[in-house]
Amino acid sequence: MNEIVQYQEPLTAVAIRAQVNLVQEVMKAVMKDGTHYGVIPGTPKPSLWKPGAEVLAATFRIAVSYKIEDLSTTDVARYRVSAIGTHQTSGIVMGEGMGECSSGEEKYKWRKAVNANEFAAIPEDRRRVKFGKSYDVNQVRTEPADLANTILKMACKRAQVAMILNVTAASDCFTQDLEDIPEELLDKATGEIHKKEPQPIPQAAFNEQKPKFQAAIITGRKTHQAVIAWINAQGLGYLTEAMLAEINSWPAPKPAEAKPAENTDAEPVTKAPAIDPDDLPFQ
């Protein structure tokens, strides 16, 4: 008997565009930077994190199931996982994604020695000294059994994120989780990402703009607080204590004292409303 093959009509361009728009709307309205996704320095677009993948799964009503392949050995915990996305109401399989994780990866393979005694007691082939730009760390091999659960969960997470990107066509908005981190940004001794620390405003840049800031305060067009707020809003860095002290030292004009009217019986003269100095841009 010939098998009956159910033909599914392809999506129209309008339907695909609507799906992409929905992903973008969910990203803006529901997802939060640093919780559901994050921009890794050196990558062109945000990386989708597990909480973000779960939001998209709920949006498109995707139920996730896993096929797990155990590739572990006595010295390495290793899992390869296939995440299967099934539509919750129709039961139609929408797509799959693959993910793998191993305790042989650099960030799982080594840990910092507790102390010098532990480092000395470990066999030479299971210890090393990790050299960084400004540090050196005594490291010993991790026990695969202690990491097995973490490795399995990481493989499932990678597979789940890959499946969501495949099924929802969200790759134009996100990239694959943390697998795209440039080598130079990952601290292999700790497994942490090097974060860019906030930097002060360069003194040369401050000196170049200082006459404009000073004139705005001295003439009364801007208050000290308004100048400081405007500088901070430019994203050039933060003002140092010396810069803040210098700005606050610039004299501001004293408010003019009101003079009594010469003829109290005369009708008041209507004047144009005063302009708030804070509403004036720097010239």
Confirm whether 134 is domain-assigned.
Answer: no
Q: Are residues 66 and 165 in the same domain?
A: yes
| Whether residues 178 and 232 fall in one domain | no
SS3 per-residue string spanning the chain: CCCCCCCCCCCCHHHHHHHHHHHHHHHHHCCCECCCEECCCCCCCCEECHHHHHHHHHHCCEEEEEEEEECCCCCCCEEEEEEEEEECCCCCEEEEEEEEEECCCHHHHEEECCCHHHHHHCCHHHEEEEECCCCEEEEEECCHHHHHHHHHHHHHHHHHHHHHHHHHCCCCCCEECCCCCCHHHEECCCCEECCCCCCECCHHHHHHHHHHHHHHHHCCCCCHHHHHHHHHHCCCCECCHHHHHHHHHCCCCCCCCCCCCCCCCCCCCCCCCCCCHHHCCCC
- Per the CB < 8 A criterion, the answer to whether 31 and 45 are in contact is no
Number of separate domains in the chain: 2
State whether 100 and 180 are in the same domain. yes
Task: For residue 203, give its domain range.
Answer: 197-253+276-283
Q: Within this chain, do residues 225 and 152 fall inside the same structural domain, yes or no? A: no
Is residue 185 packed enough to be buried (19+ CB in 10 Å), middle (13-18) or exposed (0-12)? middle
Would 176 be classed as within a structural domain? yes
As a whole number, the mean pLDDT across the chain is 80
Residue 268 maps to a domain: no
Give the pLDDT confidence of 149-165 residue by residue, as tens digits.
Answer: 999 999 999 999 999 98
Q: 161 and 245 share a domain?
A: no
Which residue type is seen at 277? Answer: P
pTM to 2 decimals?
0.57
The answer to whether 68 and 81 are in contact (CB under 8 A) is: yes
**Residue 99 counted as domain residue:** yes
Pair (60, 151) in one structural domain? yes
Residue 183 lies in a domain: yes
- One domain, residues 207 and 88: no
Distance CA 119, CA 203 (A): 46
pLDDT at residue 13 is higher than 60? yes
Contact 36, 49 (CB under 8 A): yes
- Residue range 55-64: average pLDDT? 93
Asked if 166 and 86 sit in the same domain, the reply is yes
Say if residue 74 is in the same domain as residue 174.
yes
- Label residue 172 by pLDDT band (50, 70, 90): low
50 within some domain: yes
Pair 98, 171 in one domain: yes
Indicate if 156 and 174 belong to the same structural domain. Answer: yes
Domain contains 265:
no
Q: Is residue 170 part of a domain?
A: yes
User: Is there a single domain that holds both residue 68 and residue 153?
Assistant: yes
**Which pLDDT band holds residue 272 (cuts at 50, 70, 90)?**
very low
pLDDT at position 191 is 42
